[in-house]
Amino acid sequence: MNASEASTTALRASIGADTAPPRWLVPELQTFPIAARRCIVRNPLTSASLELSSGEHAVLSACEGCVPLAEHEARAARQLSAPPEHRPAIRELLERCARGGLLMALPDLVARFGSPQETDVAPFAGVAVRTCDRPGELRRMLESAIALQARTGARYAWHIVDDSHWAESRRANQELLRECGSLDASYHGASAVEALARELGAAHADLAGEIDALLHPAREHEVTYGRPLNFLALRFAGHRLLLIDDDMVLDPRRPPLSRPGIEAGAAHEPAYWYETLEAAFAACPSLDTDPIDAHLRWLGLPLAQAWAKADRAGLTIRGLEGGSAARFAPDARVTFTRTGLLGDPGWAAFSAQQVVLSEDTRQWLAANTDAVRYAFESQIQWRGRLAIGLVPTALPSSTLLGIDNSRLMPPTLRAAAGEDIVFAEAVDCIYPNGWTVNLPFALPHLRARRRQWLTPRDTLVGDPARCLVWYARANAAAIAAEAPRERMLRLGGIFRDFAETSDAALVGALEEQAAEYASSVRFAIDEQLDDAATPEAWKSVLRPWLASPVFKLDRDSLRASIAPPAAVRALAREYARTLTAWPHLWSHCRERSTREQR
């Protein structure tokens, strides 16, 4: 059955008396003008095309998401302010687009995954803990691991990657591991990282500079968040791995609200705010589950298998957009698994998530208006999904993160804040068919000191790492290769070009990024202010942000807010070099791992 025949079959089912109407996704379509008021519209996934008038194209362009045809019709009519007598024509056009293959029925999309056959996933290397000069936090985390092991009886391998600057911290951490003898824990300190660097240097003498850029210990005041991740990705090449920071606690907590079943889509994650940690724990009680096992049930599964598993558990569609259509592909798999967090939300000074709220959060605030004042005062939040979510993208995480490192994963920035978002964006560029499974529980994220968040009166200078993310996202379509290795090399070339651009072009690109960011957040604030369902108390919080220097769009304000061009250039140049060298280094470690398993 070809795409047109499948669409016709689904369309007939949608109008059958005894059949629930299927959902139809509007993919990212290509438009080719052929006359003043005529165009050809093409679905690049099926090669189906139709000739449409300008009015018909406007109707099709007003549709979005994956919903029944009746909802597409209602949305188009609402967006275009169409009178009731035009609804039959809109309906006929959408049915014609469905028959012609421009719209894609959900069963047709799922069929692109292939047959859901049981497959073996890669071996699990264990849970890796990143720690740096926080022996007290590491003790608390490992004590929670011991409690989890006693409660579940499950015994996992633990890898403590010690990136501490101070010798007393390293001694305390090693003594702690001796005390935690019931855990199967290994210590990976500076000597382990240096030994790996020497091994790689001996095998690839021409890549000495790149190895140094990936694995060198902190210099002076550097913060090397990414160094442990680079070490782990090499040390456990070919394995699945869970990653957690030392200020987390393995005490899974229920969401304050929940939804049954499993959801597919990239719906905005809700946030809930609490005055105290005690109040948060009362609203989100402990959950009798093994969070590690919950990750391993999904991590690395082909999407054909994961989707069938989700479908058996009651799958619903929530926030599945047109750009997701290409991820319904035979090589799609779960590259990441991720949990929510309860406590410190994870950002340093400011995040758009502070003022851009999901529909779930807005509804919760309408019933809990006293919580408005906690949003910026308490810094204790729930952030995560309310049901298991199949998300068609790679997502960064500051909580327990599962990484399928059985196939080539990229490195990240060794010594720059934002290494998690750069890593996730690189994964998305290299594996455009990758998915994330979000798990509907949170782990406590207990920061020792309160962060200094921005107020509406403060200014904000851009983050160089986010500049790299924005540039990669803007240029990802230029990566035409299929093989991950070749895609990684092309991504390295994109960053190399960014680093070598002229000063004027670089500043212009950074100003463009700042303008896009500011305008998108302003639009989201205005949208909430215009929504009658938004509580007045929250509107009072939002209004001062419209005058914030962070969101001004004049030339001087944008120029003052951009990241230092020299820092962006240096970061792009270094990351380009390491991306180009990484496939050689990762393959070396993968081959060694294969030999060790024999």
Residue 7 scores a pLDDT above 60: no
Instruction: Give 301-359 as a DSSP string.
Output: -BHHHHHHHHHHTTEEE-S--GGGGGG-STT-EEEEEEEEEEES-S-SS--GGGT---H
Handedness of CA 146, 148, 150, 156 (dihedral sign): negative
| pLDDT at residue 1 greater than cutoff 50 | no
Write the class of the CATH domain 3-106.
alpha beta
3-class DSSP assignment, residue 15: coil
pLDDT of 566 reads: 97
What is the C-alpha to C-alpha distance for residues 173 and 341, in angstroms, rounded to an integer? 25
Residue 170's pLDDT band, with cuts at 50, 70 and 90, is: very high
pLDDT per residue over 397-435, tens digit each? 878 999 999 999 999 999 998 999 999 999 999 999 999
Identify the CA nearest to 43 among candidates 317, 432, 326. Answer: 326
Beta bridge partners of 67: 24
Residues 254/439, Cβ–Cβ less than 8 Å: no
43-47, 157-161, 572-576: which range is least confident on average? 43-47
95: confidence class by pLDDT, cuts 50, 70, 90: very high
Task: State pLDDT tens for residues 469-498.
Answer: 999 999 999 999 999 999 999 999 999 999
pTM score, two decimals? 0.93
- The full set of domain ranges for the chain reads 3-106, 124-245, 263-454
- Report which of 240, 356, 352, 347 is spatially closest to residue 299, judged by C-alpha positions: 240
For residue range 219-277, list pLDDT tens digits in order.
Answer: 888 889 999 999 999 999 999 999 999 999 999 999 999 899 999 998 888 999 999 99
Task: Work out the percent of the chain whose per-residue pLDDT is above 70.
Answer: 97
Question: What is residue 597's predicted lDDT score, i.e. its pLDDT?
Answer: 74
552-575, pLDDT tens digit by residue? 999 999 999 999 999 999 999 999
